[in-house]
Structure 1
Amino acid sequence: MSHFCVGPDMAVTLNFSLKLDDGVEVDSTFDKAPATLTVGDGSLPEGFESLIQGLATGAREQFTVAPSAAFGERNPANLQRMPRTRFDSDIELAEGVVISFADQGGSELPGVVTWLSETVVEVDFNHPLAGRTLLFDVEIIDVQPAS
């Protein structure tokens, strides 16, 4: 057992689960291999990283994470309507379909089709968990200085 605590530049091995506030599980490592990350490497959103700061090996905690500390609030500006002609005819358009777009920097930006008509397609670029309060259950398995 290490005696280190979670902090900057520490390698952390942990199990976690994320649930919606209604108890629906979104993600979990408890039933598979634990996750290993280095604090500050971007693997874990900052709001979650700040919650585990100072925890030591063996700690098991549950946190309620507000949308502002998780994936942000839903932004109405991220709902965009575009002409149906912008989509290749081989793309199957239906509500709930995830389509990947390239942003200005060339990164992939997923959007979910939320509504469509004969001529218009509405796509939601909000993170699927935006606006949701999440339950974050974490178990710290090991903490070591990152090499």
Structure 2
Amino acid sequence: MTIDPERITVTDFSLKHRVTVHYTGSFEDGEVFDTTIGRTPLTYVEGNHEVVPGFEVAVLGMEPGEKKTVRLEPKDAYGEHDPRLLYTMPTIEIPNYEDLIPGQLIYLMNGEGYQQLARVIRVADDADTLFDFNHPMAGHTLTFELELLSREPYTGEEA
């Protein structure tokens, strides 16, 4: 068997695309947590981990102009809620602890000197304050209404 080099085609599976999509995201109870409707649509590069995995997979199979609704389990979105990411700290050791409000998102410095986002769960004047370092949407099933506006080749050379 001979191979004619003139008839060989190569598919470049490393080619990325810049996609532009409108979306509305909601929780299981129907509460909308974010939407691009009435705003600038979301643009991202496929394969660059700029959106949650399930969102990217759902958009991969779409054609421009197509609309669909997808339901993402926590593992395909922001992950399961991890109880190991709950931390307590003696309230008395927290500067201005009286300003903390349960539900509030604040940045705390970790052991390596980096800031990390945490949610205040409980503040007890004479005990411990509880912080949750999970992503605020961890453990939630999310629904996205998607409309793919465009998919263009991305070379990585654009700034």
TM-score by length of 2: 0.81
In the alignment, is residue 128 of structure 1 matched against residue 128 of structure 2? no
Q: Distance in 1 between matches of 2:150 and 2:108?
A: 38
- Structure showing greater Rg: 2
From 27, 30, 35, the counterpart of 2:34:
27
From 129, 148, 154, the counterpart of 1:146:
154
- Listed as ranges, the matches of 1:1-147 within 5 Å are 9-89=16-96, 92-104=99-111, 106-118=113-125, 119-147=127-155
Q: Give SS of 2:84's match.
A: helix
User: How many equivalent residue pairs?
Assistant: 141
Q: How far is 1:90 from its partner?
A: 7.0
Q: How far is 1:105 from its partner?
A: 5.1
Q: Would you say the 8 A contact 2:89–2:129 is kept in 1?
A: yes
Q: 1:67-107: per-residue Cα shift (whole Å, max 9, x none)?
A: 11111111111111111133222771121121102335544
Unaligned runs of at least 5 residues, structure 1: 1-6
TM-score by length of 1: 0.87
Unaligned runs of at least 5 residues, structure 2: 1-13
Q: Give SS of 1:94's match.
A: coil
Q: Would you say the 8 A contact 1:8–1:39 is kept in 2?
A: no
Percent same amino acid at aligned positions?
28
Q: Give SS of 1:99's match.
A: strand
Change (3 A) 1:71 1:98: same
Q: Distance in 2 between matches of 1:105 and 1:9?
A: 34
